[in-house]
Amino acid sequence: MQSELFYQHLWEREAVLVWVQDHTYYQGLFSTADLDSILRNEEVQFGQHLDAARYLNGLLETLNPPGQALPAATWSLYQAGCSLSLLCP
């Protein structure tokens, strides 16, 4: 698919599945396992390093609890429908 068609018809309108036979194709991308390792080994703070947010009735709702983003709390927010965003200074 040409990029012009993608942006005109699909970008931010529909989900797109990109299927490849090579299972190592996406191997270098950041994964949930990578985030879990960071949460377990580094001191990640909600609101400073990580945001947990979701849309409710069309409005963005940030659900950052105070303090450290411990794995159990972080994954609980994720399972409750929050997007997790690592913040870059």
User: Cα separation of 64 and 87, whole Å?
Assistant: 13
Per-residue model confidence (pLDDT) at position 47: 95
Per-residue model confidence (pLDDT) at position 76: 97
Q: What is the DSSP string of 27-87?
A: TTS--HHHHHHHHHHS--BBTTTEEEEEEETTEEEE---SSB--HHHHHHHHHTT-EEEE-
Would you say 49 and 87 are in contact if contact means Cβ atoms under 8 Å apart? yes
Would you say 52 and 74 are in contact if contact means Cβ atoms under 8 Å apart? yes
Domain ranges of the chain: 3-86
Per-residue model confidence (pLDDT) at position 42: 96
User: Tokens 């794995």 appear where?
Assistant: 71
Per-residue model confidence (pLDDT) at position 18: 83
User: Cα separation of 4 and 23, whole Å?
Assistant: 28
* Tens of pLDDT, residue by residue, the chain (89 residues): 789 988 999 998 888 888 889 989 888 899 999 999 999 999 999 999 999 999 999 999 999 999 999 999 999 999 999 999 999 75
